[in-house]
């Protein structure tokens, strides 16, 4: 089976879909290989995980509506 190479943009687009999965799952193998060689994407993943921890710790943060909309726009949600 031919190994599909992914780039940083692919990682950014997939990271939210795979963040709760182990990086050993079949869906995440290419992502893991990329993260092994890309410190920028690894830092991005770490940042996303830290953000999730903070949101779970503070489930109802008081975020102004405008800031919330900008965040969702950046995250493309």
pLDDT per position as a tens digit, 37-49: 899 988 988 888 8
Nearest to 15 by CA among 70, 3, 2, 34: 34
Is residue 3 a part of any domain in this protein? no
pLDDT per position as a tens digit, 5-54: 778 887 777 776 666 666 566 667 778 888 888 999 889 888 888 888 88
Domain count, the chain: 1
**What is the pTM (predicted TM-score) of this model?**
0.57
Is residue 62 a part of any domain in this protein? yes
10, 18 Cβ separation under 8 angstroms: no
Could you tell me the residue range of the domain that residue 16 belongs to?
Answer: 8-75
Is residue 2 a part of any domain in this protein? no
Exposure of 44 by Cβ count < 10 A (0-12 exposed, 13-18 middle, 19+ buried)?
middle
13, 45 Cβ separation under 8 angstroms: no
Is residue 33 a part of any domain in this protein? yes
Is residue 59 a part of any domain in this protein? yes
* Tokens linked to 60: 């109802």
């Amino acid at each position: 089976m031919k190994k599909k190479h992914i780039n940083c943009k692919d990682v950014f687009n997939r990271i939210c879909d795979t963040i709760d999965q182990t990086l050993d799952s079949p869906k995440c193998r290419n992502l893991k290989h990329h993260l092994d060689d890309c410190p920028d994407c690894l830092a991005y993943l770490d940042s996303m995980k830290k953000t999730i921890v903070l949101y779970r710790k503070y489930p109802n943060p008081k975020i102004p509506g405008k800031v919330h909309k900008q965040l969702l726009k950046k995250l493309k949600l």
